[in-house]
Amino acid sequence: MKNYILPLRDMVLQPGLTVPVYLDNPVSILSMETAAKEHQQIVLVAQKGYNYPNKPADLYPVGTRADIAQVLRMPDSSIHVLVQTTAPVEIAGCAVDRDGLFSGICTDISQTDDSKDEHTLALRDKLADNLSRITRSKRIDIGKLRMVVNNYPMPAFVDAVIQMTGIDVETSVQILQMKTFKEKISALLEQVAIFVEMAKIDDAINRRVNSQMDSGRKEAILHEKIRAIQKELGEDDEMDNVSLQKRIKTAKMSKDASDKALSELKRLRQLQPMSTEASVLKTYLDELLAMPWNKSDVAKIDLCAARAELDREHSGMDFVKTRILEHLAVMKKTGNMRGTILCLVGAPGVGKTSLGKSVAVALGRKYTRVSLGGISDEAHFRGHRKTYIGSQPGRIMDALKRAGANNPVIVLDEIDKMGRDHRGDPEAALLEILDPEQNKAFRDHYLEVDFDLSNVMFIATANSLNLSSALRDRMEIIELPGYSEDEKIAIARNHLIRRAALDTGWLPENAEISDDAIRHIIRKYTAEQGVRELRREITALLRKTLLELDGADAHTEFSISKIDELLSGRRDAGFTKRIGFGVRA
């Protein structure tokens, strides 16, 4: 008998079912309406491709005959159809007319109802048992499966298993044309057995992966929770990364430094926020951004103001101050820092370090000091590799960061106290720093990018001339002689009494010490070229007087006899027996 054929996408219907079908394709709608108008059955056939077929070869040769029970037309021109499948059919002489409707001669495939056979029922129970093993991989609702087994007739059971397991269309067509339910369920068992084996393999793989990744997954979950908490607190790492990127772009670094920073930021984004490497990279980027790449103190050199500053802070030493002013005059003329590095050599307390600070004030630049006493490791200058625990930039880069400018005055204090051991020769690194031909591209091991030190003014200090020939060749030695007695009196009058009063809580005007009294202290209680010991003795006078006055501050004239009365105990106890050149006070 010739019937109209309705192609269906990815659907093979078993006989004995009542199924709703939704149609929105105009040709499918026309085919269904024509069959209903002519009171004919419709044959439902699975199509081979995704798009609506246009030739008989696009259809499978086996389908399902169905009665049209109800047609419901929707406002959007689609239709909902309720069909009742009756029998599987073989299609012969399939053709398509000019309206695109398929039709053909359909012959029923004889079927035997063995749904009540014990063997068939046993196969059904085994199939249901196997299905329960793949509920996770196939997302099968175990409750729905039990309901299907207990309540559905055999045709509905076969169709439900096909739908739940997602068996491919070609296998479903083969099952459709089988003549007994025993054959159909046996075929389904083969398919489900394959799914069970695949589920076992998947489960084994998942267990292996889970056992290997349990700790990593736990860390990842904890990191996500931490990130969520940080986000609530306004400390989101993603926001930090965006902030870092903006800071890098606005930092006005050199091209090499900017490229390095962006490269490390890219690595940082790929790491877990709380990992050790992420912490190292974040610290590195903070150090890189903290460097004064393009920050300079710009002030014209005023030689008159510089001379006034040196005279105000330092009495005597006319030769030394003149040499410093000559150096500043050359800088003013040439407009750069290149030239001789000054090295001030003298006994402790003669004012070497304070001279460097006065130069910075005179130039209108930042001042910072680097103590070199006891340094024996090259890494103190060049820094440590950032891969090491506790690594940090070298002292020169740290001094620049503290100064906040790329052209400060840096005093290299006690350059004669450097050592040398198996960890390297720090003097070799210092020679590069002090060489104007090399320090234009000084590379710190921690920062790993070049930094220009040519704008920095270095002033070295030393207590003795115990320096290597290479280091002496880099610097101009300026020896600071000890102060004369009259210079010490002037320094005490202008500076030391006021500082000692402030240290002990006195009003400077309440401590009256005559020049003769100061001269007596110098001659009897000090034996040095500098003035540190003199300041200590004056401080001791004020301190002992406070004890006598019960901590009160009153106007006091320190005569020679009163000085002897107060300081004689210190002399007897041996506090003033530090005699000799170069002894630390």
pLDDT per position as a tens digit, 546-561: 888 888 888 888 888 8
Q: What's the pLDDT at 571?
A: 57
Helix (H) or strand (E) holding 552: none
Q: How far apart are CA 118 and CA 122, in angstroms?
A: 6
User: Which residue stretches of 38-113 are H helix?
Assistant: none
pLDDT at 417: 85
- Write the pLDDT tens digit of every residue in 206-235: 777 777 666 666 666 776 777 677 666 655
Mean local confidence (pLDDT), 553-576? 75
The answer to whether 497 and 318 are in contact (CB under 8 A) is: no
CA distance 480 to 467: 16
* Dist CA 458 CA 84 (whole Å): 99
Range of weakest confidence among 98-102, 228-232, 271-275, 447-451 = 228-232
Stretch 353-379: mean pLDDT: 86
pLDDT of residue 80: 92
Residue 190 pLDDT > 80, yes or no?
yes
Q: How far apart are CA 160 and CA 381, in angstroms?
A: 78
Rounded Cα gap, residues 436 and 339, in angstroms:
8
d(CA 498, CA 494): 7
Which pLDDT score, from 0 to 100, does residue 576 have?
42
Tokens 């910075």 belong to 360
Query: Is the confidence at residue 395, as pLDDT, over 50?
Result: yes
Q: Indicate the average pLDDT of the chain.
A: 82
Asked whether the predicted pLDDT for residue 567 surpasses 80, the reply is yes
Give the C-alpha separation, 426 to 372, whole Å.
10
| Local confidence band at 577 (pLDDT 50, 70, 90 cut-offs) | very low
Confidence of residue 244 (pLDDT cuts 50, 70, 90): confident
Kindly state the average pLDDT of the residues 392-411: 90
Residue 366 has pLDDT above 70, yes or no: yes
Residue 301 β-bridge partners: none
pLDDT band, residue 583 (cuts 50/70/90): very low
Which is nearest to 227 in space by CA: 213, 244, 240?
Answer: 240
What is the mean pLDDT of the segment spanning 377-381? Answer: 84
Task: Identify the band that residue 121 occupies on the pLDDT scale cut at 50, 70 and 90.
Answer: confident
Q: What is the pLDDT of residue 67?
A: 92
Residue 240's alpha-carbon distances to 361, 439, 530, 565, in angstroms, are 38, 34, 53, 66
**Sequence-ordered strand ranges (E) for 312-414:** 341-346, 367-371, 409-413
Q: What is the distance between the alpha carbons of residues 176 and 62, in angstroms, rounded to a whole number?
A: 8
Sign of CA dihedral 269, 270, 273, 274: negative
pLDDT of residue 579: 41
| pLDDT score of 422 more than 70 | no
Are residues 538 and 491 in contact, defined by beta-carbon separation less than 8 angstroms? no
What band does 136 get if pLDDT is binned at 50, 70 and 90?
Answer: low
CA pair distance 285, 220, nearest whole angstrom: 24
Q: How many CA atoms lie within 13 A of 364 on its CB side?
A: 9
Q: Quick one: average pLDDT of 402-423? A: 84
Q: What angle do CA 104, 110, 115 make, to 5 degrees?
A: 130
Res. 578: pLDDT tops 60:
no
Residue 429 binned pLDDT confidence (cut-offs 50, 70, 90): confident
Joined together, the tokens standing for residue 563 give 């000085």
Read off the tokens for 92. 């012969």
